[in-house]
């Protein structure tokens, strides 16, 4: 091979290396999903979302109306609209459902029987609401680190999830602030459901 051909070959290799290093372009944008997060006061909604956003626990204040957080994950950004869970606010929840692509329901697995009954009724209402009934649900049985916490199987049976949510997309997961890996895994499963729903919409 002539010196000219060798020089051309090296120049072309340099060009390819330059393209690979400098001309890759911006990474593809992560998809964004709009979610609504509901649950009774004290269930831990605000604390869980704040921890996922790496916010200081000292700044956590119980939500009285609603708040919006952009929760970043490697493959998606979740724009979560958290609604306050007090008695005088729950009756207005449905006003904020429009535009939601998924639902996060947080319950206190260590709560009193009365509060658990109220949470069950609210979850049943959400699962059957016209604006939510076709959406993916992530149901978090929070406060698993407390001695009085009910297991996931106990929650599933008490909330009658198998018959009520049959045919729907839902995930029931245990969680606590002490186990962020499990919490992030729960949200990854929710993102998978959201992506599946997107793909189905494209095929239609």
Q: pLDDT (tens digit, 9 = 90+) per residue, 171-186? A: 999 999 999 999 999 9
| 102 assigned to a ligand binding site | no
* 145 assigned ligand-binding residue: yes
On the CB side of 148, CA atoms within 13 Å amount to: 7
User: 3 labelled as ligand-binding?
Assistant: no
84 among the known binding-site residues?
A: no
| Residues 56-115: tens digit of each pLDDT | 777 677 777 889 999 999 999 999 999 999 999 999 999 999 999 999 999 999 999 999
Would you say 144 is a known binding-site residue?
Answer: yes
45 assigned binding-site residue: yes
For the entire predicted model, the pTM comes to 0.84
Q: Is 129 one of the annotated binding-site residues?
A: no
Residue 118 annotated as binding?
Answer: no
* pLDDT tens-digit series, residues 135-146: 999 999 999 999
The verdict on whether residue 99 carries a ligand-binding annotation is no
The Cα–Cα gap between 133 and 129 comes to 5
The pLDDT score that the predictor gives to residue 28 is 64
CA atoms within 13 A on the CB side of 173: 20
Question: Do 37 and 49 contact (CB within 8 A), yes or no?
Answer: yes
Residue 40 counted as an annotated binding residue: yes
Token reading at 99: 């535009």
Helix axes of 45-52 and 180-203: crossing angle, nearest 10 degrees: 90
Decide: residue 24, CB within 10 A, 0-12 exposed, 13-18 middle, 19+ buried.
Answer: exposed
Tell how far CA 148 is from the center of its chain: 25
Rounded to whole angstroms, the Cα distance separating 160 from 5 reads 75
């Amino acid at each position: 091979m002539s010196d000219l051909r060798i020089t051309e070959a090296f120049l072309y290799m340099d060009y390819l290396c330059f393209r690979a290093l400098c001309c890759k372009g911006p990474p593809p944008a992560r998809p964004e999903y709009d979610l609504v997060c509901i649950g009774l006061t004290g269930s831990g909604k605000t604390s869980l979302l704040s921890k996922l956003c790496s916010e200081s626990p000292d700044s956590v204040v119980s939500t009285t109306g609603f708040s919006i957080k952009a929760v970043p994950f490697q493959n998606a950004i979740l724009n979560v609209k958290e609604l306050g869970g007090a008695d005088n606010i729950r009756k207005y929840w449905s006003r904020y459902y429009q535009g939601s692509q998924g639902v996060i329901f947080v319950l206190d697995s260590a709560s009193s029987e009365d509060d658990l009954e109220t949470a069950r009724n609210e979850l049943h209402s959400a699962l059957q609401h016209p604006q939510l009934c076709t959406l993916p649900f992530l149901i978090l049985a929070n406060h698993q680190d407390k001695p009085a916490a009910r297991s996931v199987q106990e929650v599933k049976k008490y909330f009658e999830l198998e018959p009520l949510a049959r045919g729907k997309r839902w995930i029931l997961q245990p969680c606590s602030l002490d186990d962020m890996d499990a919490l992030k895994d729960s949200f990854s499963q929710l993102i998978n459901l959201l992506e599946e729903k997107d793909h189905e919409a494209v095929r239609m």
